[in-house]
Every structure is written in C-alpha cells, then in structure tokens.
Structure 1
Amino acid sequence: MAEIRPLRAWRYHPRFAKQIEDYTSPLFDVISEAQCRMLYQNPYNSIHLSVPQDVPPYENVARRLEAWKREGILVHDPVPAIYVYYQYFSLPGIDKTFCRKGFIANIKAYDWEERVVLRHENTIPQSVEDRLEMLRHTRLNVAPTHGLYTDPSHCLEPLMDEAMQAPLYETEDYQGVVDKLAVIHDAEAIRCFIDLMRDKAVILADGHHRYSASLAYRKERMRQNPHHSGHEPYNYHLMYFTNTEADDIRILPTHRLISGLENFDPQSFCAALEPYFTIKPVADPYTLQEIITGKPWAFGVILPGRYLKIRLKAELTDKLEDLVPWDFPDLIKRLDLTVLHALVIEKALGIPGKEQAKSKSIHYTRSLGECVDKVRSGEAQLALINREISIETVKEVCYSGHTLPQKSTYFYPKVVCGFLFGSVHDDEFNALADRLFS
C-alpha cells in the first residue's frame, strides 16, 4: 500500500531557530490578505515561497529559492529523517488541551485509482495548476499536506513521544496553536514507520490541490523519462501523517452564508421548509451550534431578527434516498450536508444542485459569530449552521470510493508553513544515506 521514506529537509539556518515564528506562515489556501501584507514585510518569511507577491512569472520564486540556498538562509539537513510534528490546541467550551501527534515524511504520489491515497473532496483546476507551476519551477514541496492513517495499536506514538523530548522548534502560530517539531534519525526507528505504513491506505485530510499538483508533476516527468524506474525524486510528495485512532483529530464545521437572492422572503422560505423539517424558534443565535450537536439532520438558521433550529422530520429519515433528487449513492444522500444542500438550498432557496458549487450566492465561513454579524448587518440574507462531521463518516465515505459534499470538513488545526521544506530536485534527493531506505 503506502510507500513512505524519510527525507533530508531544507530548513531555516539554526540561527533563525529561536525566532522561527517570524518565518512561518499559514497555508496558501487559508491565508488572509491582511496576513499576507504583514508577512511580506519580512523578506525571508516562508510566505515568499508559498504565496509570493511577484508570481507569475514563476521564475521569480525559483530565483528567490536558489538565492536563499546560496546565502545560507535555508540549509539542507545532512541525513534522512522522519520529522515529528505535534500541535497543542484548545477549543471554545472544552476544558482540555488537545495534542495532535503526527510525523512528516515523503510518500509516493499515487494515482487516485490505485486507492492508496483516498480523497474526500474534488479540486478546482485553477488552484491545481498554480501549485503545479510552483512545483515545476522550484521542485520544492513548500508545506506538507495532511494524511490520515489508522493504527489502533498506536505503535508509533512512543517513538514520536521520545523524539519530542528534544524539539527543534517550539512556537505559537497564527491560530494560537503551539507547534513543536522534532527529528528522528535512528535507522531502526525510521524502519518502524516505513513498515507500519506499508499496508495502510491514507485518507487525504487537507491539501487536495497540492497533492493533485504532485500527481500531475509525477505523470509529466514520467512521460519525459524513457528510463523511469519509480524511484526518482519526482515520484514523491511531502505529507504530515496523523492517526485516526487518536482522540485529538478535530473536524470543525463550515457554515453557509446566503446572499444576493432576488425576491428572497423569509416567510416564504420558512414555508418551503415545513414539508421536510420541524421548526423551532431559538432565543440566542450563539447557542445554535450547541443545540444541534449530536442530532442528525439538524441545522441552525439565522434570519434577520429570527433564529431557528430545524430538523428533518422523523417520518422522512427512512425516505432520504427518494427525497434527495440527485444521482448519489445512498451513503452520500444520508449525509447532513447533502440534506442541507438538497432540501434547504435547492428546494427551499431555489439554487439548483448543479449550480451550487459555483454559485455567487453561497459563501462559507467557520465562524458562527460572522454568520450572526453578517445577517444582522444585511450583508447576508440568512446563514445555515451545521454540525461537525465525524472522522468515522469521513473514513466510511473515502473507503467507499466516493467524495463528500463541498466544504464538508475543516481539519483543525492547520499545519503551518516554514518549519521544513521537501525537495524533489534530482541533485538534492538521492544521497547515499537516502538509498538505505529506498
């Protein structure tokens, strides 16, 4: 199944280690314009490699990367390693500090059809092409994607815990999360990681566009290489792996904001919901998330001056396969978000399913407070609040070969960019020590 191998990462010179948070940045698909403007002020922040201002042309970022290597801003670790990455975080309303434990390694960029790396969402071609151009010009994975493996025995965690006794970096990131990075050089320990992953499938939690770019790059280079062996650097992709059996895998919900609908009338909207949902008023919109927690097919609705909890009528729960008008397998039809998009957004709001992915009337946010504020200010006509999806549901859908509805998952916290970079450059990959693990 999954072939992984250690890597010799490019990292900031040790003189930057104590101020490493000055050089980290959010991932390219979650960073805000305000964060970009602030981080651009540091000429050596990782933002200049992940979301550079002067691209296109992509040659600019390639020249910058080579300059950073030449000037010693980035240095190449001398021997292959597994990099251990822990993230300590808390969540509102929960009196606990979570620790998501994982490790960073290279994985072969498998075709989706091989069913080794499993996706749970589709990609936007334009975003894939941007990441592909970056890869073509830099031959660098700027940040790891996030993959999930399943190991009920937790046999790697003691090795990771031991390494974390002497972290390379410890910092607090833009999310308020404490990030720690450590390293494992011991060949016997590294072999344990390789052997465990050999019979695992990996669910891609985060980074579908970057993984798709690596896959496209691999295919492109294979076509150009008549002597392709499967061991060339271009075959590999940088990934952060976490265990689905840990209790610190958190998936936060993403809510829907609706705006710009012509002739929208809240009363008519509620009347259109009545055939499908029981409707109950709620006094405080900030309690909606708590109210729907643990209740299948329950949603919050924020309207101007009115807040509702809606839940699919009990007598309809066995008829979802017929109620949802789309050509989906039954497993997908019974998901909360499928019901929301089919019965609320299509039937009650009139936005056809085939138009929803590109609709300018549907916006997404993880913030309940933003939903309340935008409806109250008139920026949005209503907001739809949904509950988080479980890791078991994600696994079930991925193993079935299907994908989840758009914006179903937000794995929290996000990996930061800047701790390490993974080269797929021919001259920087296959050192003698690397070949011990190939």
Structure 2
Amino acid sequence: MAQIAPFRGLRYNAEKIRDLNEVFIPPYDVISPEEQDLFHQTSPYNMVHLELGKAAPQDTAEENPHTRAARYLNTWQTERVLVREEIPCIYYYELEYSMSPDLRRIRYGFICALRLEDFDSGRVRPHERTFQNVKDERLQLMLSCHANLSPIFSLFGDAGGSVDAVLRDAREEFPVINFQDRHGMNHRVWRVSEPSALRRAAHLMEEKTIFIADGHHRYETSLNYRSIRRDQAGRTPTDRSHEYVMMYLTNMNDEGLTILPTHRMLRNLNGIETDAFLESARRFFRVDRFEAEGEGERRWVEALRKGAAEQRNVVGFCRKGDRFLYAFQADRKAVSGCLARMGIPRVMHRLDVVVLDQVILRGILGLSDAFLADERNIHFKHDLKEALESLRGGLYQAAFFINPTRIDQVEEVAGSGLIMPHKSTYFYPKVGSGLTIRLLDGEDGCI
C-alpha cells in the first residue's frame, strides 16, 4: 500500500523573498547552461545554488558544488531566508498553465512525504530507465545536504477524485504560495494540517499504486540514501525520515494532466541516403509524402494527429534540405513481428516511441546504443514547429516526430513491470524547485 504523511516543510520566508520568481527554478535536469548562469545571477538565494551549483577549477572533495549547497542550505536557515513549518502538513497545489492562447488548464495535486518502496514491491512503479552517473551525482548532493530539495512527480489512479476532494475541502483559507512564474504559469499552494483530513487522505491512498512520472533518478537516489542511512544505524528502522521521500502526487484521471511528445533531432548520420532509407522503411510502413511548406505541411501535421486520434502508430520524418515531409504509417503485422523478433514485449508494440526507437533508429538505421546515448548525436524537442525550424536552420541532419505517449499506456507498461525507452514521456509542466524543501533530520514530523 502507498503510505503518505504530512511533513514540516522548509519554505522561503515571504518577508525575505518578496518575489518567488527570484528563487524558483525548473527541475535541474532541464536547465540549460545559459539558464544556469541566469539563475545564479538572479539571486544569491536562488534554488540553483542548491540543485545545480557551478563547479570551479579549484574544487576538491572538501569544497565543491555539493558541499557549497549544504553550506548555503544551513546559512539560509540561520538567516531565516528559509523557515520551517511549526506543524506537519500536506501542501495542496494548483498549477494553472496555457497550452495555447485560447486553452488554459489547471492541474491539481499535492506535496507530501511518501514512504519509500523498492520497485519489486509493486507499490511504486517506474516507467523509464535511469543512468548510474546521474544517480551517483545526485547521491553526493543528498549526502551533503541531507534533504529532499524538490518533489518527485508521480501519479495515482482515482477516478472519483476522492483524495483531491478531501484535501481541497480541508485546505487553509489563504494560500501560503501564490505567484506567476516567468512563463505565465500560476502557482497556488495551500497548507492542509487538519488531522482528520490528513488521516482520511492517508487512508484513501493506502489502496493506490504510485507511478513515477518524472524524477526516476531522484527516487532511486533516495533508495540508495536510505540504504546508507540504514547501514549507519546498524539496523532497519521503520520510522526515520530517510524512509520517506518528498513527492508531488496528482490523479492520472485529472483533466489538467498533459504529456507532450518528444521529437528526436539527429546529427552525425554518416552515409545514410534518404531514398535508401525510405525503401527500407517501406518493409514496415506505408510512407506518405507531403510538400514541406504551406498546405503540404498542414496536411502532414494532420496525418500525425489523426494517427494519435485513431491510436495508430505514425512517425514523422524529415531530412535537412529535403523539400518533403514524410509520415510513416505502421503496418501493424510487420512492425509487431519485427518487435517480437527483437524480444520486445507485446504490451510495448503500440507505443510510437518504441516503434521509432527499435524498428527505425536501431533496426533500419542501425544506430547503436552508444550513438543514441551520446548528446552530440541526438537532442530532444517537444514543440513540433520549433523542431522543424531547427532542422531547416541546419542545426540537425534529420528529425523524427512522434505523438505523445498516452497516460493509459504509461499505466499499462509500468503496471507490467516494464521500462520504456529513454525520453518516452514529458509530463508538462514539470514540478519545479523552490516551493518547499524536506529536511531529513528526523524532525520533519512525517512519522
């Protein structure tokens, strides 16, 4: 069962930090070097100093971005830039954002402490693979700061919305956080501390399975941190702060939940000719061709969208300098046969990202794991128009375009204990850093 608990969050003091835009940042793994520089310059109290500090040539094992983050975290508390809640609470969180000038959505969720579970328990399920070097770096930061600096983004099923209703009805009258970020998103956070509501929400969550949406590296890092702390204690404690992790939870049935596509932008494709590639692709796909401008581009986009609406595998393709756009309409029998020969479980066969990753990139183009893991060769974009402009501007040799993975597909794959390819999902908006911190000092009140 999923065990949630309130905790004594550490938050920015409104008397010290008037505008949370000065300190609030996206998750560390989507911050570009240019944004990292900008955030460092914005405020000496910006969360980037904790989450993604800059390395210096003279850094040592005793003085480095991780040790500096720990020092900043302690200093900011001493200066009362960060203040801790007097009593444990759960944070009810409304995030309002725009998908277009005419379409705004609100995603409802809450930030709590969740008892850590090993994946083999089936209570918490991942859907993407992780990389050891990232987990090693995050563990060093966690061992320095002894804190959850940002919440992991996860999902649970609740068709009736009962958990949300309990917390919404019990929230305090006024939000403790209310600001619009630099992207025009409105963040509103209320405390929920009424004991009966907390007990009711915890009871309702006991039957839920948790699906990690974003933050797989941080979750696995928290498991590793827990193991270290257990070893240090010489036993396996049940009620210690390292047994929990800070998590943002939202109902996967929430209409405000959005998954964006993740298009693949490729470089360093040596010796690949478009005609030969298209001929090979026709063994598995019907290849439709569209003019790359005006009405042709509009019809191409419509072909991709129609594939999503009809739940068919459709992959878009374009090469730099080509006057045509292509839509690969999957021959379901041929594609499924190819994936079966590759040893891919049947539940994965209907995912556009798997068809692209396995049949096209690895099968037809013969790209290796090492090639696809090298950031010099592949970049990812979520906006189709931006991706096309980058390709036409000569930044990439070729691009593949896919529809977003559906939430029911995430649930089905994760529920089967399987892992999707890297960058299979992009839950939007991501949950940023700067709303609350959870200290792992045994005094967070979550037990």
TM-score when normalising by structure 2: 0.90
Cα RMSD over matched residues? Answer: 2.0
SS state at 1:148 partner: strand
1:360 deviation in Å? 4.3
CA contact (8 A) 2:113 2:245 kept: yes
Q: Which residue number corresponds to residue 60 of structure 2?
A: none
CA contact (8 A) 2:9 2:444 kept: no
Q: Which residue number corresponds to residue 59 of structure 2?
A: none
1:160 deviation in Å? 3.8
Q: Which residue number corresponds to residue 398 of structure 2?
A: 382
1:244 deviation in Å? 0.8
Q: Which residue number corresponds to residue 264 of structure 1?
A: 272
Q: Which residue number corresponds to residue 322 of structure 1?
A: 337
In the superposition, relative to structure 1, how do residues 160 and 297 fare at CA in structure 2: closer, same or farther (>3 Å)? same
In the superposition, relative to structure 1, how do residues 371 and 59 fare at CA in structure 2: closer, same or farther (>3 Å)? same
1:354 deviation in Å? 7.3
1:213 deviation in Å? 0.7
1:356 is aligned to 2:364: no
Q: Which residue number corresponds to residue 313 of structure 2?
A: 297
CA contact (8 A) 2:166 2:200 kept: no
Task: Output the amino acid matched with 1:207.
Answer: G
CA contact (8 A) 1:46 1:418 kept: yes
SS state at 1:256 partner: strand
Task: Output the amino acid matched with 1:331.
Answer: V
| Equivalent of residue 147 in structure 2, options 130, 140, 146 | 140
Structure 1: stretches of 5+ with no match in the other structure: none
What are the Cα deviations for residues 77-118 of structure 1, in whole angstroms up to 9, with x where unaligned? 10000101111112138x332110000000111111111110
1:235 is aligned to 2:243: yes
1:369 is aligned to 2:385: yes
In the superposition, relative to structure 1, how do residues 425 and 366 fare at CA in structure 2: closer, same or farther (>3 Å)? same
In the superposition, relative to structure 1, how do residues 288 and 58 fare at CA in structure 2: closer, same or farther (>3 Å)? same
| Equivalent of residue 75 in structure 1, options 83, 86, 100 | 83
| Equivalent of residue 153 in structure 1, options 136, 160, 164 | 160
Task: Output the amino acid matched with 1:105.
Answer: C
How many residue pairs are counted as aligned between the two chains? 428
CA contact (8 A) 1:302 1:382 kept: yes
CA distance in 1, matches of 2:224, 2:302: 42
CA contact (8 A) 2:317 2:326 kept: yes
Structure 2: stretches of 5+ with no match in the other structure: 56-62
1:62 deviation in Å? 1.1
SS state at 1:170 partner: strand
Q: Which residue number corresponds to residue 125 of structure 1?
A: 132
Q: Which residue number corresponds to residue 393 of structure 1?
A: 409
CA distance in 2, matches of 1:412, 1:419: 17
SS state at 2:358 partner: helix
1:378 deviation in Å? 2.4
1:209 deviation in Å? 0.7
SS state at 2:207 partner: coil
SS state at 1:234 partner: helix
What are the Cα deviations for residues 177-212 of structure 1, in whole angstroms up to 9, with x where unaligned? 211111111111111221111111100000011111
What are the Cα deviations for residues 353-391 of structure 1, in whole angstroms up to 9, with x where unaligned? 675344743321213233222322322111101001110
SS state at 2:28 partner: coil
In the superposition, relative to structure 1, how do residues 375 and 14 fare at CA in structure 2: closer, same or farther (>3 Å)? closer
CA distance in 2, matches of 1:214, 1:290: 43
CA distance in 2, matches of 1:373, 1:286: 15
SS state at 2:228 partner: helix
In the superposition, relative to structure 1, how do residues 17 and 155 fare at CA in structure 2: closer, same or farther (>3 Å)? farther
After alignment, is 334-343 or 161-170 more displaced?
Answer: 161-170
Q: Which residue number corresponds to residue 47 of structure 1?
A: 48
What are the Cα deviations for residues 128-176 of structure 1, in whole angstroms up to 9, with x where unaligned? 1111111111111111011101111211223443427521122222443
1:123 deviation in Å? 0.5
| Equivalent of residue 335 in structure 1, options 340, 346, 351 | 351
What are the Cα deviations for residues 323-370 of structure 1, in whole angstroms up to 9, with x where unaligned? 124222111133211111222212332214675344743321213233
In the superposition, relative to structure 1, how do residues 157 and 35 fare at CA in structure 2: closer, same or farther (>3 Å)? same
CA distance in 2, matches of 1:7, 1:218: 18
Q: Which residue number corresponds to residue 208 of structure 1?
A: 216
In the superposition, relative to structure 1, how do residues 360 and 228 fare at CA in structure 2: closer, same or farther (>3 Å)? same
| Equivalent of residue 436 in structure 2, options 400, 412, 420 | 420
In the superposition, relative to structure 1, how do residues 286 and 385 fare at CA in structure 2: closer, same or farther (>3 Å)? farther
CA contact (8 A) 1:141 1:237 kept: yes
In the superposition, relative to structure 1, how do residues 82 and 326 fare at CA in structure 2: closer, same or farther (>3 Å)? same
